[in-house]
Structure formats: structure tokens, C-alpha cells
Structure 1
Amino acid sequence: MTLSPPFHPGSPEPAGTRFTLDFTATDDLDESTQRWTTYWDVERLCRGPEPAPGWVVADRAAVDTELGVLKTGKEADVFLLERAVPGTPGVVMAAKRYRSPEHRTFHRSATYTEGRRMRSTRSTRALEKGTRFGREVAAGQWASSEWEALRELWLAGVPVPYPVQIDGTEILMELVVDPESPDLAPAPRLAATRPDPERLRSYVEQVRDLLGALARRGIAHGDLSPYNVLAAGERLVVIDLPQVVDIVANPTGTDFLLRDCRNMATWFTRRGLAVDAEDLFAEVLAQAY
């Protein structure tokens, strides 16, 4: 805004329009709930695929603010985190953080990772012995595995949350919301929904497509159930991907795929739409070879 008439230092303040400077200081953060954005602190391959969606906040002046816990688990907790430039609208993301060695118990069987290889023999031995260092390696291994799966599947068009970045054992990703809720609340797990017959049929076809898309890439989810599929209105989104299984290199890979099919078929059948797990398995497995 320009002052009129022109104002010069030392002269009386003119009557009329006054200029007020309004700003927000960003030097002082509440260290208990805030931090400067870490988006540019990580390497390029630790940021999400390009082009990034328009909602991703990449401004170096952005601040990350903790909003609370979304979900707790044995291996990782998921928090709500807002990233915004002070004074402007931001975006709320899901921050998945794998637990520290003192506060977690990794219960995932080593059979998930058969067929995977680690470069460091020291890390391999530590994992096998279950030492503190081994548990730290395990946390990093699961976080890295989930990050790579999210990137690969997002680029392939599979319905997963967009992965924003990974920093150590923290993954920031898209917060999947329910577009049919008045306040765009986080999408519920499929297990918590009661879809009508038409939507139930749509969900079955989406699950078929999802399982097939994974199989064509030579992998199975490994722990698929209605508890790690989100119902975002008419659309299903799969989450919790650290244990993806190579169904070719892993000797028990097809067993995991069969279990995934049975878990989903059982849920649909209980909701009133019969799905034969063996037929679903055969249909999906045929796409893997």
C-alpha cells in the first residue's frame, strides 16, 4: 500500500490512510510440538516421486506441527502432522514412525524377508541374533522396505498413499481422508464399514485389481486384511506395506498370497457377498507368471 501524500522521515504523520505492517515471527518454535520442515534435509531419493501432487508443501520456510496420534501399533505409531508456511494454509499428513528399540517388539516373522539380501554381513548377523543394533537395523529395514514399496506402487498406479519423504525411521505420507465425511475425517478401515450391496461389489472388484497389480509386479502384500485397507468413500486404498513379499524368490511367497486372498474373501462373504478364496487366489496367481 502506498501512503498519500508521500511521507518522509521526520515530517508530521499525514492524515488519511495509514500503513500497518502485519507479520508472524517464525524464529521461535515450540520445540515440544514444532520443527522446521525436513523436506529438503533428506536426499533426493528420500523424497516422493515427481511430479509431486499440488498439495505437497515444499517451501523451505515451512514449519511442521504435531497434531496428535492417529493410530498406535506394536512396531510403529502414526501421527498427524501439519506442514505449513506460518500464516498460510498447510497440509495435514500421516507421519509413520517405527518405534525405538526400547519400545517395540518386532513380531513379523523372518519368513517375510526370505529372498531379500543385505549388503552388510554385520547387519545380517545382528538381525539373526536380535541384538540392540539388530533391532535398530530391523526398524530401518522395515521403514526402508515400506518406503520403496510405496514409491514403486504409487508410480505403478496402485492405490496407496502418496509417499512424501522418509527420514530415518519416519515416513511422511498422504493422509487418506473420507470425502463423504462433513469435515474430511481420516478414512476408516474397511473392517469398520458397512457398505451397501452396490458398493460392496465395487470394493470386491477393486480388491481383485489390487491383488492382481501386486502379483504382476511379483509381490504380495503379505498381511492384507480389512484392517489395512482404507475406505475413502468409493475408493479403497491399501496401507501398511513394510512386509511386502517376493512371491517368486520367497519359498513361502504363494502361501502369503493365498492368506491375503482368504482374509479378504472371508470379510466379503461375511458381509453378504460370497467370494471364493481359492478362485481368487488362482486368478491372481496366474497374473504373476
Structure 2
Amino acid sequence: MKAPPRLQALIEEGLIDTVVRQLMSGKEAMVFVVRCGDETRCAKIYKEATNRSFRQAVDYTENRKVKSSRSARAMAKGSRFGRQEQEAAWQSAEVDALYRLAAAGVRVPTPYNFHEGVLLMELVTDAEGDAAPRLNDVAFTPEQALAHHATLIGEVVRMLCAGVVHGDLSEFNILLAHTPGVDGQEGVDGPVIIDLPQAVDAAGNNHAQRMLLRDVANLRDFFGQFAPALRQTDYGPEIWSLYQAGLLSNETVLTGQFQRQNADVDMQAVLREIDDACAEDAARRLRMAGGV
């Protein structure tokens, strides 16, 4: 097929040879199957902010590190340069998360290159070598659902121990990949987590807990269709409680149960927090206006 303009630039740079076909078009990006020498990979072209349908980006970009204080100031002011820097940070976030999670042993696509808003990475495949299906396109037996759910809960824990929360995890951004067997053994199917530009820092983002609970609830609700016993589990609060207490590790044995504590709310403390936040926001606006 004819290469889109942004992939044509990568062909000219020698990073890819040909474009095979379009694989998908989502709310954040378009993905194409490409050839790089003898290998088949995929190229993810990020959509510009004005063409994305993804909402509440501010929740995901909170406390993200940027390359310079000048960039941070520009992003806070919302200047043209700041918007450009924010867009670059959004696009490079997935690359950073992929490398970080791969190093932590999380099953994610292998990243190869990031150039001019295009991410080159592994094409995750099924047993026939075709692009692997998303979980939402597959039906499971109860045993398969339980096994894949357990694997993914382990991946959520591994991600959190690496300081990352996916932030948008569901059956729509998990692929069912095939891993060939070795020494004559039969291959196995297993989940691969994709779509990470909205990944957040677990310790630095105030919305991380809410996002992790939602991610885990999405897994419970999807696999609970095939294994109803999963609907009674409560892994999200258990995982976050252990993480906050510094007791979570990749070897932690989870129960799927969580006993909530009923405590009185200190309304005075809540109001003080609100007043402090309002004062900080007013001071920030004053600084941005040049009043300080």
C-alpha cells in the first residue's frame, strides 16, 4: 500500500522498508504493519492532540517529568511552545513506559525506535503469525478466564512494583499472543499489554489509586463473564493497600479479598486541604500572570 506521509519519512530514513497494511485506527493513534528487512513490525502513528478523542489528559500528565524547567513552565502556561512540549511528552510516555516495564519483566511489545511521533515496535502475533487478537474478540472457558485473569493481576502487580499504573487497562488493550513451545513442547497463549501513552507514575500522580482500582475492576468484569466467581473478588483495594504499606512485591500472594475499614471522616482536615489547595492555585495563577 502507499505509505502515509509520516511513514514515508521513516522509509526515507531507512528505518522501515515498506508499509504492508493498516492494522487499526484508535482514539489515540493509527497502527500499520510494516517490513523492516526480514522482520515484520508495527508502526504506531500518534494523532495530534486536536484529532484525539481521549479525554481528561490532565489527570494522566500530572507530575510527569519533562526535559527542562523551561518546558515545564511553558506547559503550565499553556503557550504554543508549551502545547508542543506537552504533546511530545505525551507521545514519548509510551516509549518510556515500554522500556521500563519490559525491564521489569512485564509482557509488553518490544519497542525498537521512536521517530517524529511514530513508534516502531514488535508486532504481537497469534499461532498463525497474524496480528494477535484483542481479548474482547475472544471467548474463553472458565478455566482459561481464571488463568488469564491471574496472569494479568500478576502483571498489574509487577507494573505497580515498577512504579507504573496503566491507567486505561481493559480487554480492548490487551492482546492474546502465542508463545511457541521449545524442545517439542506445545506453545501457549498469553496476554500482552499494549497502549501505554496514558501510563502514570504510581507515587507521583494523585489519580494513580483511582486508575489502578479501575484497571483491576475492568479485568474482573471482563473475565467474570466467563468465570462468575471472579465477580466476588476485590483485588484492586488489596493490591493498593499492600503497595501503600510497602508490603507489595512480585512474590506477594494475593487473596482477592479486602476488609474495608470504616473510619470517621475528619471534616475539618478535609476543609483545610481544600483551603490549602485553593490558596496554592491562586498563588500559581498570580505567578503565571506575572504578579510575583
> Is it true that 1:71 corresponds to 2:24 in the alignment?
yes
Query: Which digits, 9 at most, give the CA deviation of each residue in 1:193-242, with x for residues without a partner?
Result: 10122221210111111111011112210110110000114210000011
Structure 1 unaligned segments of length 5 or more: list them: 1-29, 40-62, 85-89
Partner of 2:209: 254
| 1:31–1:278 distance in 2 versus 1, CA, 3 Å | closer
CA distance, structure 1, for counterparts of residue 152 and residue 167 of structure 2: 14
Partner of 1:136: 84
The residue matched to 2:44 in structure 1 has which SS?
strand
Report sequence identity in percent: 35
Instruction: Output the amino acid matched with 1:72.
Output: S
Partner of 2:134: 189
Partner of 1:23: none
Instruction: Output the amino acid matched with 2:25.
Output: T
CA distance, structure 2, for counterparts of residue 31 and residue 194 of structure 1: 34
CA distance, structure 2, for counterparts of residue 211 and residue 111 of structure 1: 19
Structure 1 position 253, deviation (Å): 1.0
Instruction: Output the amino acid matched with 2:122.
Output: E
| 1:201–1:120 distance in 2 versus 1, CA, 3 Å | same
Flag the structure with higher helix content. Answer: 2
Instruction: Output the amino acid matched with 1:190.
Output: L
Structure 1 position 275, deviation (Å): 2.0
Structure 1 position 155, deviation (Å): 1.6
Q: TM-score, normalised by structure 2?
A: 0.70
Query: Which digits, 9 at most, give the CA deviation of each residue in 1:177-202, with x for residues without a partner?
Result: 011x3xx2101111111012222121
> Is it true that 1:245 corresponds to 2:190 in the alignment?
no
Report matched runs for 1:31-50 at 5 Å: 35-36=11-12, 38-39=14-15
Report matched runs for 1:225-244 at 5 Å: 225-233=170-178, 234-244=189-199
Structure 2 unaligned segments of length 5 or more: list them: 179-188, 247-292
Report matched runs for 1:122-161 at 5 Å: 123-124=71-72, 126-128=74-76, 133-161=81-109
Conserved in 1, the CA contact under 8 Å of 2:66 and 2:89? no
CA distance, structure 2, for counterparts of residue 166 and residue 107 of structure 1: 24
Q: Aligned-residue CA RMSD in angstroms?
A: 2.6
In the alignment of these two chains, the number of paired residues is 230
Q: TM-score, normalised by structure 1?
A: 0.71
CA distance, structure 1, for counterparts of residue 205 and residue 80 of structure 2: 27
Please point out which of 130, 148, 154 is paired with 1:203: 148
CA distance, structure 2, for counterparts of residue 174 and residue 273 of structure 1: 34
CA distance, structure 1, for counterparts of residue 164 and residue 204 of structure 2: 10
Report matched runs for 1:18-33 at 5 Å: none
> Is it true that 1:80 corresponds to 2:33 in the alignment?
yes
Instruction: Output the amino acid matched with 1:238.
Output: I
Structure 1 position 121, deviation (Å): 5.0
